Copies of this chain bind each other. A is one copy, B any other.
Amino acid sequence: MFTEQELLEQVAKLDGWKLKDGRLLVRKYSFNEFMKGIAFVGEVAAISEAFDHHPRITIDYKTVTLELTTKEEEGVTSLDIRQAYGLNEAYERTR
């Protein structure tokens, strides 16, 4: 696990992600069409299967919110951070 300081530094480098309640990594992604958000969710699903790690995904019309955490560790781990980078790359490809 990261120390609190290490975690804050890691999150500061991650475009768009915020720490929630100290144990959840959250990002809202916006799209100009509903179906682009759905296509992004398809990418998120493929990445989640590859990592065998599944964020909570919420689709509110043209906004997709992802929440990442590692339940076994009750907090954010390097796995969540690595996956967040991959999810940001997928957003740049599909937005």
Contact = CB atoms under 8 A, between A and B. Distances in A.
Contacts of A54: 34, 61
Interface residues of A, number: 15
A35 B41 CA distance: 11
Contacts of A42: 38, 42
Interface in A47-85: 48-49, 54, 56-61
A19 interface: no
Given A38-B41, A45-B38, A59 B57 contact: yes
User: Which among A38, A48, A49 has the greatest number of chain B C-beta atoms within 10 A?
Assistant: A38
A22 to B, nearest CB: 21
Interface in A25-49: 34-35, 38, 41-42, 45, 48-49
B59 A34 contact: no
Interface of A: 34-35, 38, 41-42, 45, 48-49, 54, 56-61
